[in-house]
Amino acid sequence: MKRRHLIKGASTTLAGLFAADSMAKNQTKLSSPHWIHTADVVVIGSGATGLPAALKAREAGCSVIVIEAESHLGGHAICSGGNLPLGGGTSYQKKWGIEDSPDQVFNDLTDWSVVSANGFPDYRYNDREVIRAFADHCAPTFEFLLKHGVVVVDKAPDTRGGNSVGSSIPREMHCAPMDWPLIQTGQPADPKVRQSMSTGNGLMHPLIASAKKLGIVFLTEHKMEKIIRKDGNSGAVLGIEANHKGQKIHIKAKKAVILGTGGSTSNVQFRRMFDPRLTEEYCGVAGTPWSYQDASGELAAMEIGASLWGLFNNTGEFGSGITKPGSIGGQFGYVNLRFYPGSEVFHKAHSIGLTVKDWQNVITVNMIGQRFYDETGPQYESDNYGVNPNYKPGSYLNAKNLKWNPNNYLNAAMAGIGDGHNGGGPIWAIFDQAAVEREKWDPIAPNVDAERGFFFKADTLLELAQKIKMEHQRVPMPAENLMKTVERYNSFVDQGVDSDFGKPKPKYKIEKGPFYAAWATPVLHDTRAGVRINSKAQVCDMKGEVIEGLYCGGESAGGFSMHGLARATTQGFIAGKYAALEPQKH
């Protein structure tokens, strides 16, 4: 063929492609979803971000729909310990003579010099714009929660439950459950402690009740699957697509969509972007099986161009990103949460779990029956008021004055067995009948989950190792390994010295049958990275530009290292405030 014919053919092909592309774009613009529901503001998730956002927008006169993937409301927040580190000059701080200000909150949460005892910085990688907004809205959010029925334990702010909440001033307050039923039991708390205990039930039940009273519409069992923009990946956000029992439902947002989907710890492949070790065996995620942090908000936002942000905070070895289990023998070992018969989700939890009062009563082994660290080793630590008694803002001495403590239990547990695979595999707590008696355990259902392979019992260690078979046990446990491990550990008890891992004076031999193996795999807890937001909680794309009509807060948003409820409630408050100011776009 002659050159001019080639050029002509190429031109015709390109013209056809451009025409097809133009037609596709026009089709995208012309085809409009069939909107089943419409509101000014559509909030995704009914937790500690979603409910404050919905209430704030409703107060401003907006119609609001909250969609929730589960059949119940409250999100991860209702499963929490109810610890609420809101400062900046709250009425409770003033009541107890504690001076604080927004500037003090900002300075605390951006202090580069603060490190935990293992050398990891709590605040160094926080986004200053995000923290400034939090600091300025911190106290107003607290008063907002009180107005909507939240009751705070009547005591001075303290440090209980605080993770990376600032060094200079105590800010931790606690939500009392009062007469509300606990999701853990289905019943109200003991009257003796209803006004003094701390629980997420005390935060979320009042907000749910207030939202219903104000006419906010809740759509449960609606899982958001897609955010709809005007022109596909550009233009304003128009609404969402949700799945309701297999049916696609389109919900129109005349002003804005707010993401409060709660993070990504339950999504194995998403969480492994941050840490490849976190494979399928880390299946006892905090807050499950009440609700799941499935990264649905992040994925939907990324699909229309959103950027992720502040990724270091998700892998930094401080705080409660990943923890030792608070209970053993069942899948769900989050330290602040037990589900009991009577809870509406107990059929999913399957067991209560055994609380370990003294880790001297067990040894922990990997999937091939070998110890890997001192069982009494601590969690990752984090900054809080009083952690460094010599604290001086911005001083390099803040690191030098801390006692070095590498906290390697969790890293050792996740190290694996040297076979080239990612993931640490199951961790098993091994103990005998004497330990059961010391701990006063009753190792039968519903306290443990033997039916699904999270608990085993046998008359001998040989038989015990042979019984350990379950979905996440990648290789069989060699019985000789377990027997040698226990024999060696018993010799340490005789000697009073743990020559392998330095456990402080091993106390108890494992020798009185029957013998037990209980699931004791670390628990994933916080999500501390997510989509990029600005000071108004607006979601930003990879160019740093705002995606019009899309907001996010809490564990689905990035740029903020703090654990827990304060971050979520305040960013929900901010998102609701600014979403309500959006003009109606369509």
Degrees to nearest 5, angle at CA 436 with 435 and 442: 170
Give the pLDDT mean for 211-219: 98
The confidence score (pLDDT) of residue 565 equals 97
**Rounded to whole angstroms, what are the CA distances from 238 to 90, 121, 270?**
37, 40, 26
pLDDT at 19 over 70: no
**CA 12 from centre of chain:** 54
Sign of the dihedral defined by the CA atoms of residues 131, 136, 139, 145, in that order: negative
Among left, alpha and beta (phi > 0; psi -120 to 50; other), residue 425 is left
Print burial letters for 142-171: b (CB count within 10 Å at least 16), e (below 16).
Answer: bebbeebbbbbbeeebbeebbbbbbbbbbb
The confidence score (pLDDT) of residue 25 equals 45
pLDDT at 18 over 80: no
DSSP state string for 52-75: HHHHHHHHTT--EEEEESSSSS-T
Query: What is the pTM for the complete model shown?
Result: 0.93
Give the pLDDT mean for 104-121: 96
Q: Where are the alpha helices (DSSP H) in 75-157?
A: 91-95, 102-108, 128-147
Rg (CA), the chain: 26
**Rounded to whole angstroms, what are the CA distances from 382 to 152, 312, 351, 565?**
24, 15, 30, 16
Give the pLDDT mean for 131-151: 98
- Could you say which DSSP state residue 524 is in? E
DSSP state string for 407-443: --HHHHHTS--SSS-SS----EEEEEHHHHHHHT---
Query: Which tens digits make up the pLDDT trace of 388-410?
Result: 989 999 999 999 999 898 888 99
Q: How far apart are CA 80 and CA 168, in angstroms?
A: 25
Among left, alpha and beta (phi > 0; psi -120 to 50; other), residue 19 is alpha
Sign of the dihedral defined by the CA atoms of residues 174, 179, 183, 185, in that order: positive
Q: How far apart are CA 325 and CA 304, in angstroms?
A: 37
- Could you say which DSSP state residue 79 is in? G
The confidence score (pLDDT) of residue 336 equals 84
| Pick from 23-27, 100-104, 413-417, 487-491: least confident | 23-27
Q: Which of 537, 560, 69 is nearest to 266 (CA)?
A: 69
Contact indicator for 47, 66 with CB cutoff of 8 Å: no
Query: Which tens digits make up the pLDDT trace of 438-483?
Result: 999 999 999 999 999 999 999 999 999 999 999 999 999 999 999 9
Considering the chain, what percentage of its residues have pLDDT values greater than 70? 95
Give the pLDDT mean for 157-172: 94
Element (DSSP H or E) covering residue 383: none
Considering the chain, what percentage of its residues have pLDDT values greater than 90? 91
Q: How far apart are CA 579 and CA 502, in angstroms?
A: 55
Give the pLDDT mean for 235-239: 97
The confidence score (pLDDT) of residue 406 equals 87
pLDDT at 29 over 70: no
Mean pLDDT (the chain, rounded)? 94
Contacts of 542 (CB under 8 A, 6+ apart): 305, 307
Query: Which tens digits make up the pLDDT trace of 2-14?
Result: 444 433 444 443 3
Q: Which of 77, 214, 66 is nearest to 147 (CA)?
A: 214
SS3 call for 304: coil
Classify burial at 10, counting beta carbons within 10 Å of its beta carbon; exposed 0-12, middle 13-18, buried 19 or more. exposed
Beta carbons within 10 angstroms of residue 378's beta carbon? 14
Beta bridge partners of residue 429, listed in sequence order: 364, 518
The confidence score (pLDDT) of residue 407 equals 82
**Rounded to whole angstroms, what are the CA distances from 123 to 22, 89, 275, 318, 320?**
48, 21, 20, 10, 14
Start-to-end CA distance of the chain, whole Å, equals 53
Contact indicator for 98, 169 with CB cutoff of 8 Å: yes
Let me know how long the chain is.
Answer: 586
Element (DSSP H or E) covering residue 393: none
**Rounded to whole angstroms, what are the CA distances from 254 to 62, 169, 304, 584, 585?**
10, 42, 18, 5, 6
Domains and CATH numbers, the chain: 36-318+525-579 (3.50.50.60), 325-376+428-519 (3.90.700.10)
Print burial letters for 71-80: b (CB count within 10 Å at least 16), e (below 16).
Answer: ebbbbbbbbb
The confidence score (pLDDT) of residue 31 equals 63
Give the pLDDT mean for 233-246: 96
Q: How far apart are CA 14 and CA 409, in angstroms?
A: 60
Query: Which tens digits make up the pLDDT trace of 242-301?
Result: 999 999 999 999 999 999 999 999 999 999 999 999 999 999 999 999 999 999 999 999
The confidence score (pLDDT) of residue 175 equals 98
Contacts of 329 (CB under 8 A, 6+ apart): 351, 353, 354, 429, 443, 447, 448, 449, 454, 455, 518, 519
**CA 343 from centre of chain:** 21
- 128 — pLDDT class (breaks 50, 70, 90): very high
Contact indicator for 66, 248 with CB cutoff of 8 Å: no
The two tokens of residue 102 are 């927004």
